[in-house]
Chain A
Amino acid sequence: MSALKLGLPSKGRLQDLTIDWFAGRGISVTRTGSGREYAGQVSGVDNVELVLLSAGEIPRELAAGRIHLGVTGQDLVHEKIPDWPSRIVEILPMGFGFADLILAVPSVWVDVESLDDFDAVCAAFRAKYGFRLRIATKYHNLTREFLRAHDVADYQLVDSQGATEGTVKNLTAEAIADITSSGATLEANHLKILPDGLILKSQATLFGAKTADWSGAAASALRQMQERMGTDMSGLLDG
């Protein structure tokens, strides 16, 4: 008889909004111990164990079935678990944590208004400078898959784990693929979004793990949560 493990972001605004979201659905999540201790409890539903994790680790734990439910961004699940639909179910988008993964180029590229233009510029750039046009990103899988699906060639991805918007100015990249919520940071860094360069629209989402052990206490906890939230999650129990 094992409890249902619910994985939530371990800190920050994403955690606060998640706790509010559950509270609005009759499930009370409270932090226990000192504010810095990563512990908490769930009341209102029996047999739910809270697991506080970095939002970036939740996709992996879901894919492995070590947690039953988890809250994180769609961008992280899609990027980190390439075959996620075989292991993870998107139960419910939660209406916050909006972030679009987009392809951006310098605003002064007045000759580039589509991926077709971008592809042509990649070809000319490689011919002139002798290396492939660099796109800075930390979303390697999503960006490569997007560009492959749109038949863009002659680019390379360079890894950027932060301050990605500054890479073009710093001459370490020619374009970027990054998360944006308002576009203000892009503008401040002299970049513009390609109109057809939307790679993924993402928001915080409640996910379920297909491969978790859904017997016993976990199943009854899920049924109680279903009732509270008014959301059908019974598909997770089938299989």
Chain B
Amino acid sequence: MLAAAKSPLQAETDRILARFVEAGAALVETEALQPAETLLDLYGEDIRARAYVTNDPLRGELMLRPDFTVPVVQMHMRGGADVARYTYSGPVWRKQEAGGDRKSEYLQTGYEVFGGSDPAKADAEVFSVLSGALQGVSVQPVIGDISLIFAAIDALDTNARRKAALRRHVWRPARFRRLLERYSSPQAASGERKNLLLAAKSGNVEKLVNKAGKTIGIRSVDDIIERADVLLSEAETAVISDNDVKMISRILDLECTMETAAEKLREVAPALDSTAERLAVRADALAAQGVDISELRFVAAYGRTTLEYYDGFVFGFHADDPRLPQVAQGGRYDAMTRVLGDGKPVSAVGGIIRPETLLALKEGTA
């Protein structure tokens, strides 16, 4: 009988999977073809620039999975146990930038923890399980926390509408910055805008609309009147203070060790006391797992542009060579479970290792 030798990559992937199973995870599989609609709803049109889209005459638009998280969350929400750990391994597909040398098909081996009542402990578990699987290679871990910016928005002295607009653009730092500027030092309105505000004040927006031409499309005259009223109340809303703007910048600029993160956050933003407390509890949980938190880097803005759906704890393991993709990454995504689970969120945190990158580092071929 022929015994096929395992390829080094297969052996590496199996080794990681075995560790994840040993940590308590059940091995699961997902389909490579996913309904495009779910991913479009979550990520918007931008996902088309990243994921491969294909068409089925019966099932409609489909995407080659750009990650495992969405199908694993869906599977769990359909009837997983209250507390569950999953592991999986397989290829994902992502279009890469023109001219780059990153692969558009690569392996991900993941570990996800759902449920439970101690989120800090689950965060620390995922971090240390992945960290353990990376033993023997030189990688730099970084910790971040997306919930800091959400907490900072909450703490702003402004109305709910402005907070919602800022929250919507947390993932688009340039527009976020522009919005904050507009709310703190508004530009003079154009002539056209002044007319609209006057019309809104005197209840004459409909006249203005009729003068502009024939009403077409689904967006109704009422919608336009409603937005004109919003613009009017916006123009009359007090500016966000310089102090508040500076607080946001100081929070986003925060870089220190995990050990000092809570204390530093309290220094720059005393209002974020409960967020700082969560950082402290997480630091303790990491230390309890044997992680040296006095050496662990904390970067407040980490993962704000690249790790699309995380909304709390985030982490990454980087190779010494900055040109290489991250060896591993992960984070907390409670909000996504709420979207995919019909409004009932569960605690969810997980991460993936890229076995190809890890193997290349081990073999010194990276």
Chain A residues within 8 Å of B, Cβ to Cβ: 82-83, 86, 106-111, 113, 116, 119-121, 123-125, 128-129, 132, 140, 144-145, 147-148, 150-151, 153-157, 168-169, 171, 173-174, 189-190
Instruction: Answer whether residue B33 sits at the interface, using C-beta atoms and an 8 A cutoff.
Output: no
> Distance in Å from the Cβ of B343 to the closest Cβ of chain A?
15
> Distance in Å from the Cβ of B226 to the closest Cβ of chain A?
8
Closest to B211 in A: A110
Per the bound structure, the CA–CA distance linking A154 and B41 in Å amounts to 9
Known: A83-B98, A106-B219, A110-B209. 13 other contacts (CB 8 A): A106-B213, A110-B192, A110-B196, A110-B205, A116-B178, A120-B227, A124-B227, A125-B219, A128-B223, A144-B45, A145-B49, A153-B44, A171-B217
Per the bound structure, the CA–CA distance linking A169 and B218 in Å amounts to 9
Residue pair A111, B45 in contact (C-beta under 8 Å): no
Q: Which residues of B contact A107 (CB under 8 A)?
A: 212-214
Instruction: Answer whether residue B56 sits at the interface, using C-beta atoms and an 8 A cutoff.
Output: no
> Distance in Å from the Cβ of A141 to the closest Cβ of chain B?
8
Instruction: Answer whether residue B366 sits at the interface, using C-beta atoms and an 8 A cutoff.
Output: no
Instruction: Answer whether residue B102 sits at the interface, using C-beta atoms and an 8 A cutoff.
Output: no
- The answer to whether A106 and B218 touch (CB under 8 A), given A111-B224, A120-B165, A123-B168, is no
Instruction: Answer whether residue B231 sits at the interface, using C-beta atoms and an 8 A cutoff.
Output: yes
Residue pair B216, A86 in contact (C-beta under 8 Å): no
Residue pair A168, B46 in contact (C-beta under 8 Å): no
Instruction: Answer whether residue B266 sits at the interface, using C-beta atoms and an 8 A cutoff.
Output: no
Residue pair A110, B208 in contact (C-beta under 8 Å): yes
Q: Which residues of A contact B218 (CB under 8 A)?
A: 129, 171, 174
Q: Summarize B's interface: helix, strand, loop or mixed.
A: helix
> Distance in Å from the Cβ of B268 to the closest Cβ of chain A?
26
**Interface segment out of the listed B71-79, B115-123, B169-177:** B169-177
The 9 closest A-B pairs by CB, nearest first: A83-B98, A151-B175, A151-B172, A107-B213, A168-B217, A111-B227, A169-B216, A108-B212, A190-B214
Residue pair A168, B216 in contact (C-beta under 8 Å): yes
- The answer to whether A121 and B45 touch (CB under 8 A), given A83-B98, A110-B208, A153-B172, is no
Q: Which residues of A contact B196 (CB under 8 A)?
A: 110-111
Residue pair A153, B219 in contact (C-beta under 8 Å): no
Residue pair B45, A157 in contact (C-beta under 8 Å): yes
Q: Which residues of A contact B60 (CB under 8 A)?
A: none
Per the bound structure, the CA–CA distance linking A61 and B97 in Å amounts to 22
Residue pair A110, B212 in contact (C-beta under 8 Å): yes
Per the bound structure, the CA–CA distance linking A190 and B215 in Å amounts to 8
Residue pair B168, A106 in contact (C-beta under 8 Å): no
Per the bound structure, the CA–CA distance linking A190 and B205 in Å amounts to 18
Q: Which residues of A contact B201 (CB under 8 A)?
A: none
B147-188 contacts to A, CB under 8 A, are 165, 168-169, 172, 174-175, 178, 182
Residue pair B216, A111 in contact (C-beta under 8 Å): no
Closest to A145 in B: B49
Q: Which residues of A contact B221 (CB under 8 A)?
A: 108
Per the bound structure, the CA–CA distance linking A219 and B98 in Å amounts to 29
